[in-house]
Chain A
């Protein structure tokens, strides 16, 4: 039997902690909970967690501070930020500091499981250079893109519209794509909100964050028909949706520029 993954859930609200712990409870995980940053720091000193789920907004030591400290102590620990305040700026900032990804509240058990799985997979990829990494691992992100690292990218087209796609590191960390749930044309998506859901063959659900607020104007039917396009060319032909931005300039400032 393989060693269980040690996961720590940090949230100042006990029900949230418990709920997340419940969602993740399985044979694969050993789950601890902490109700404050201080407690979490203590625990992570004793145990070497594979992943820590951190609420960004906490009294005392904040989520970001905790992230910084853990990153310093245990650089290999994957950290997933959760927030009740889905501000992409804070989220992107946390990713810049070293978080793996973030997930806004509220989320479903599948979503949290997926992201944890993805994080652990990513950890494994980095550590062991497993086969699954395939060719994508060393792929550079093309210049001129705006990204939410490990998650999505946005490209401003000449006609003012924005193409949104999946970050190759997300593809690296998930199993074979079983389905992609596209948004409907005409729907408005706000920055930081779920844009596309990617369902693994293992039925895990991954969210692709909307990098730029806008109204969906088109979806890439070629990808819809053949997911393999994503793996071959995630940054050009593998775009997922096209949207009309409503607040482009402000939104772009919250993203990382490649």
Chain B
């Protein structure tokens, strides 16, 4: 799977952003819901209260009718007229009352319920009232008021215009319950009835009055005025009220699109089921005619407690929705601002976290690349700070370990180098020794073999010479033989000395001491030669491993040669120093003698080369050369005729063999 390589800061910012977005979204959604619901709940609570107010208005209307009827029933002229059976006067008086009290119906019946005066149609009387209210008053002899459904036949009897007013064509309404009828002929009235007693209290009859609610907008408009004070929103009344007869809107101030009262439309089946069928008030959103309202519905009951209609109040939802939208908008604004603010905080926090981590990563890379000296700056006291500190500790430890390791490796390398040099030195020494040993054996053999014949020659030539006269030519010849034989003998002796095998005795010494002790012996000689000896010795030189006697022999040889080179006197300067990057000690002998001709410079170390004639064997410098070679050193010669000769002896500062080195160490320890 391909893994996207994202920087830590991006991941952190992403994570932060995710948290912020989720957090803000949840709080926004919850907040909006909460606020929206609160607004709606408050709206609903208000509607519930408004419904109560509407009920007050409705009941007040009912009570007003009831009071009117009760007062009228108690009026004296009705009792008098009834007692005196003066119906004509009663009719005219009651007609006046109906007009004065603005009642749609005002009818008087006798104790059997037979109509005596029908104020709306004086000619129509004598029929038996079928109204439940009249019967109730006849029995209970108390005033009462109630909402009643009145069928068309009854309406027609009370007044033809009332039946016309009550007749409402049903308009097709979505969501309403299906009904077969297309027109409502019955009307819904608020009807009050009161008993009429004589002075003794005997029942004379019952007076009842009613107002038809169909197309009567007094109640709904009063509700609107009282509760909503006629406020409008987008040219729509915020508050509306309606009276339903069953499910039909018979009195309302809910308007249709064309601005007419929405008479004839019906309530939705959902509301109808709840309110009419189950008798439970409804509070909630509802689509009323052409807009969403927050509504409350409650059933209207008749005197028998039967549900005959619905009282409705509703507030236009739009202001609340808009309010909620504004709140949501503000909320979203706050959320967006929060996201931005949190993002900025997250960015800086991330930077604070990822910065040191990035540095840590860079430091890790540097360490991986071998830069163990890199240290992190600790800027915080948190886990990253601790990590940085741990990292620093780790690199310190790592560096220490690496240093140790390198030191160990270096030591090891040096040791290997040392050992190799020692081995090579030892091998060279061995080879040299073997060569010298072979040469020594050879020389010894030669000496032995040659000396025997030389002995014979020498003795016999001497014997011959003894017998020869001194002036004789043969005597000279014999003397020549004797001289040459003697010279042969000297050469053989020199050869033996050259090849002489003496085991080296290596000791660690201060070369200055060796020079001084050599010069001590030579001082007399130098005086004899009128040579001034100047010492330029470097103090505290590292000790060298040498065979002191052999080195003394070399120095003596060189000094004696120098003195020989200055028969008329001169200066011999002897200096010691460290050279060759502390790898060797250099001892120079500079004389102001006659110098060595160029052609001889390369030959002075050759065995038997001498410029001293019979005074030298020509082996002194050869032996010296051999000794210095045994010490793995060198002798350099610089010479100029008439100016002087400089001989430089260089001796290495490392020991010649391993064994002796160990001894030296033990001693040092």
Interface of A with B (CB < 8 Å)? Answer: 11, 13, 15-16, 18-20, 22-23, 57, 82, 84-86, 104-110, 112, 159-161, 184-188, 190, 193, 213, 215, 217-218, 242, 244-250
Contacts and interface: CB of A to CB of B under 8 A. Distances in A.
Interface of B: 444, 447-460, 462-463, 466, 482, 485-486, 489, 493-494, 496-497, 502, 517, 520-525, 528, 548-550, 552-553, 556-557, 560, 564, 615-617, 620
A108 B458 contact: yes
B553 A218 contact: no
A160 B458 contact: no
A186 B556 CA distance: 12
A84 B524 contact: no
A9 to B, nearest CB: 11
B351 to A, nearest CB: 84
Given A159-B521, A188-B617, A84 B448 contact: yes
A190 B460 contact: no
Given A85-B448, A106-B451, A159-B523, A187 B457 contact: no
Given A112-B459, A249-B549, A16 B452 contact: yes
Contacts of A13: 452, 456
Contact of B453 (A15, A108, A247): A15
B447 A84 contact: yes
Nearest to B449: A84
Closest CB pairs A-B (n = 5): A84-B451, A105-B451, A160-B521, A106-B454, A19-B459
Given A84-B447, A186-B564, A217 B524 contact: yes
B334 to A, nearest CB: 109
B163 to A, nearest CB: 168
Contacts of A187: 615
Given A108-B462, A109-B463, A188-B616, 15 more contacts: A15-B456, A16-B455, A22-B460, A84-B451, A85-B444, A85-B496, A105-B452, A106-B451, A108-B459, A109-B459, A159-B520, A217-B525, A218-B524, A244-B525, A248-B549
Given A109-B463, A247-B549, A161 B493 contact: no
B452 A190 contact: no
A57 B448 contact: yes
Contacts of B564: 186
A19 B448 contact: no
27 contacts: A13-B452, A18-B456, A19-B455, A23-B459, A23-B463, A82-B455, A84-B448, A84-B449, A85-B496, A86-B447, A105-B454, A105-B489, A106-B454, A106-B457, A107-B458, A109-B466, A159-B524, A185-B528, A187-B615, A188-B616, A190-B493, A190-B494, A190-B497, A217-B528, A218-B524, A244-B525, A250-B502
Nearest to A158: B520
Contacts of B463: 19, 22-23, 109
A85 B455 CA distance: 12
A249 B547 CA distance: 11
Nearest to B466: A109
Contacts of A105: 451-452, 454-455, 489
A159 B616 CA distance: 25
Contacts of B452: 11, 13, 15-16, 84, 105
Contacts of B620: 188
Nearest to A23: B459
Contact of B459 (A22, A86, A161): A22
Contacts of A250: 502, 549
Nearest to B494: A190
A86 B489 CA distance: 11
Contacts of A85: 444, 447-448, 451, 496
A185 B482 CA distance: 24
Nearest to B446: A84
A204 B35 CA distance: 152
B493 A86 contact: yes
B553 A244 contact: no
Nearest to B556: A246
Contacts of A188: 616-617, 620
A23 B460 CA distance: 8
Nearest to B525: A217
B524 A161 contact: yes
Contacts of B448: 57, 84-85
B339 to A, nearest CB: 101
Contacts of A242: 524
A215 B524 CA distance: 12
Given A84-B452, A246-B557, A110 B549 contact: no
Contacts of B522: 244
A39 to B, nearest CB: 18
A217 B523 CA distance: 10
A216 to B, nearest CB: 10
B51 to A, nearest CB: 141
Nearest to A15: B456
B458 A106 contact: yes
A23 B462 contact: yes
Contacts of A57: 448
Contacts of B557: 246
A244 B522 CA distance: 7
A107 B455 contact: yes
Nearest to A109: B462
Nearest to B614: A187
A158 B548 CA distance: 18
A26 B27 CA distance: 149
A160 B447 contact: no
Nearest to A55: B452
Contacts of B528: 185, 217
Given A15-B453, A190-B493, A244 B458 contact: no
A161 B454 CA distance: 34
Contacts of B494: 190
Contacts of A18: 456
B451 A161 contact: no
A106 B455 contact: yes
Contacts of A249: 548-549
A248 B482 CA distance: 32
